[in-house]
């Protein structure tokens, strides 16, 4: 078994119930690991270690039959991304402008986790206002990838992905507006789920933004399924939340036989520059699905990159991008260069287009994918096209070089972005291998609209054990 700090949530709960492990022991192990790895990784911006140990002792009593009922996630150390409000805790949002802010309420999403018994021992770093696909800020500095600290763990939920890979948490939260759960999952070698829009309640006003999703990251598919079942379901505060509540089956009951499943495989969505290692690992993931009995077919699907960027720019300019721009106009504002560049890119990319123009492009983008789902149960493609984003790089006015092509914007390296546009599709991001620089690569398992179960069935069937990196030795 891996070291205690890398124990899965499902294994930990099983050990708690059998009285082979105490929540105190697990919390102590995670805290010790964080103290060892944080000087390198820098994934945790606020720490509540003493309070976490107090809560772990209460959980220990409940597992001993004292002090009340057990909750579904009782005693599991969890980091919450810093952009989520938790009443009484700092709500810094990665910004100097909010360095002293304290939340006066708890988000709908996090409340469900707290009510399920998690122990929030720390908050995880994010890019300023969650506006970038990498994680560093003027407030907290650079968050680094535990597998190779020269690279970013992705963003904007990069602290969550890095903490999971480093072993300084068991569960983590994220939010996903342009891939911000799935990209850190890919670069960190962990699992993340972007639920279909409305599956998990979101606080107003962003509950009405169809690109915005709250979700979870963990080290295994089963752990993500376990936690997703806690956070999913309708809420009176979110008019778009879906009824009835969707419950994922126990992954152990899904089996590993995929006979009868038809899977579409695309290495590049037909129009995206993709690193050769990412292509290779995507093909190898397809072979694993074939070995499990699925019919896997490489398809000629084309999701035009320029149209994706245009639709996203229009959407962000009329919503989130405008909000970031407004923050920059506040007296004394000192936004990071990448946050300013994000708002500027959205405004320039939208030009004179209105919301309806963007919706028309979005409809055109989904049509070939919708037709594909008439013949296939799921689509598998890379999560990110590049073998890594450099830690601390702002990527202002340029993107990374991918397979010999210098991209104009780093969002062009994220095949996650199209599925914020096609936001009713559930997407499970899982590891696919490693690039030559040691950075993990990942694939997305995209399900038909609102078919959450199929991505989990596929991901569980071919999941492989990970040997986690040593950090801070």
The count of structural domains within the chain is 1
- Cite the DSSP H helix spans in 192-260: 221-231, 251-254
Dihedral angle sign, alpha carbons of residues 68, 72, 78, 81? negative
pLDDT of residue 473: 52
pLDDT of residue 1: 38
Q: Which of 153, 163, 135, 35 is nearest to 438 (CA)?
A: 153
Dihedral angle sign, alpha carbons of residues 131, 387, 277, 124? negative
pLDDT of residue 107: 97
Are the C-beta atoms of residues 64 and 203 closer than 8 Å to each other? no
Alpha-carbon span 260 to 280, nearest angstrom: 25
Tell me, yes or no, if 124 is annotated catalytic: no
Asked if residue 222 is part of any domain, the answer here is: yes
Asked if residue 272 is part of any domain, the answer here is: yes
Catalytic residue selected from 81, 152, 160, 241:
81
Tell me, yes or no, if 57 is annotated catalytic: no
Which helix (H) or strand (E) element contains residue 305? helix 305-317
Asked if residue 472 is part of any domain, the answer here is: no
pLDDT of residue 402: 98
Asked if residue 471 is part of any domain, the answer here is: no
CA distances 338 to 48, 326, 399, Å, are: 30, 15, 12
Dihedral-angle region of residue 396 (phi above 0 means left; psi in -120 to 50 means alpha; beta otherwise): beta
181-209 CB burial, b ≥16 within 10 A, e <16 = bbbbbbbbbbbbbbbbbbbbbbbeebbeb
Mean pLDDT of the chain: 97
Indicate the DSSP class of residue 414: B
Q: Which residues, including other chains, have CB under 8 Å from residue 306's CB and lie 6 or more apart?
A: none
Are the C-beta atoms of residues 377 and 262 closer than 8 Å to each other? yes
Catalytic residue selected from 127, 131, 156, 214:
156
Whether pTM exceeds 0.85:
yes
Q: Which of 201, 191, 215 is nearest to 81 (CA)?
A: 215
Asked if residue 473 is part of any domain, the answer here is: no
Asked if residue 261 is part of any domain, the answer here is: yes
CATH code of the domain containing 257: 3.90.1300.10
Alpha-carbon span 89 to 102, nearest angstrom: 5
- Bridge partners of 262, per DSSP, are 295
Place of tokens 């969505």: 269
Catalytic residue selected from 22, 131, 152, 180:
180
Tell me, yes or no, if 107 is annotated catalytic: no
Give the structural domain span for 394.
4-461
Asked if residue 466 is part of any domain, the answer here is: no
Asked if residue 468 is part of any domain, the answer here is: no
Low-confidence ranges of the chain (pLDDT < 50): 1
**291, two tokens:** 């070995």
pLDDT of residue 68: 83
Alpha-carbon span 83 to 101, nearest angstrom: 11
Hey, is 272 helix, strand or coil?
coil
């Amino acid at each position: 078994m891996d070291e205690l700090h890398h124990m899965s949530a499902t294994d930990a709960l099983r050990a708690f119930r059998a009285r082979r492990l105490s929540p105190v022991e697990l919390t102590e192990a995670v805290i010790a690991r964080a103290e060892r790895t944080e000087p390198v990784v820098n994934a945790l911006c606020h720490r509540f270690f003493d309070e976490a140990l107090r809560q772990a002792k209460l959980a220990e009593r409940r597992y001993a039959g004292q002090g009340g009922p057990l909750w579904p996630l009782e005693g599991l150390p969890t980091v919450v991304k810093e952009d989520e409000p938790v009443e009484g805790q700092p709500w810094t949002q990665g910004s100097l402008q909010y360095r002293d802010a304290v939340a006066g309420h708890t988000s709908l999403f996090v409340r469900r986790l707290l009510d399920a018994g998690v122990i929030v021992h720390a908050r995880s770093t994010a890019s300023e206002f969650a506006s970038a696909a990498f994680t560093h800020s003027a407030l907290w500095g650079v968050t680094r990838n535990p597998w190779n600290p020269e690279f970013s763990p992705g963003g904007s939920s990069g602290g969550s992905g890095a903490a999971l890979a480093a072993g300084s948490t068991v569960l983590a939260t994220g939010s996903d507006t342009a891939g911000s759960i799935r990209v850190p999952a890919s670069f960190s070698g962990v699992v993340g789920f972007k639920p279909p829009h409305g599956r998990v309640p979101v606080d107003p006003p962003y509950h009405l933004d169809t690109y915005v999703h709250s979700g979870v990251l963990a080290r295994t598919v089963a752990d993500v399924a376990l936690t997703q079942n806690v956070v999913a379901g309708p809420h009176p505060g979110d008019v778009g939340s879906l009824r009835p509540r969707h419950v994922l089956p126990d992954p152990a009951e899904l089996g590993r036989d995929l006979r009868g499943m038809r899977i579409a495989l695309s290495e590049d969505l037909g129009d995206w520059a993709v690193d050769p290692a990412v292509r290779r690992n995507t093909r190898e993931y397809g072979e694993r699905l074939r070995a499990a009995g699925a019919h896997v077919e490489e398809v000629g699907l084309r999701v035009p990159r320029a149209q994706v960027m245009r639709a996203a720019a229009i959407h962000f300019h009329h919503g989130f991008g405008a909000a970031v721009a407004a923050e920059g106009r506040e007296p004394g504002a000192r936004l990071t260069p990448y946050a300013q560049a994000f708002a500027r890119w959205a405004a320039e990319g939208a030009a004179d287009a209105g919301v309806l123009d963007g919706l028309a492009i979005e409809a055109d983008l989904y049509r070939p994918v919708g037709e594909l789902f008439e013949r296939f149960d799921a689509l598998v493609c890379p999560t990110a096209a590049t073998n890594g984003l450099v830690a601390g790089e702002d990527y202002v006015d340029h993107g990374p070089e991918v397979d010999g092509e210098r991209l104009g914007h780093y969002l062009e390296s994220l095949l996650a972005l199209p599925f914020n546009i096609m936001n009713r599709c559930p997407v499970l991001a899982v590891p696919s291998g490693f690039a030559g620089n040691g950075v993990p690569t990942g694939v997305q398992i995209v399900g038909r609209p609102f078919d959450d179960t199929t991505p989990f069935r596929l991901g569980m069937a071919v999941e492989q054990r990970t040997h986690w990196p040593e950090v801070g030795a």
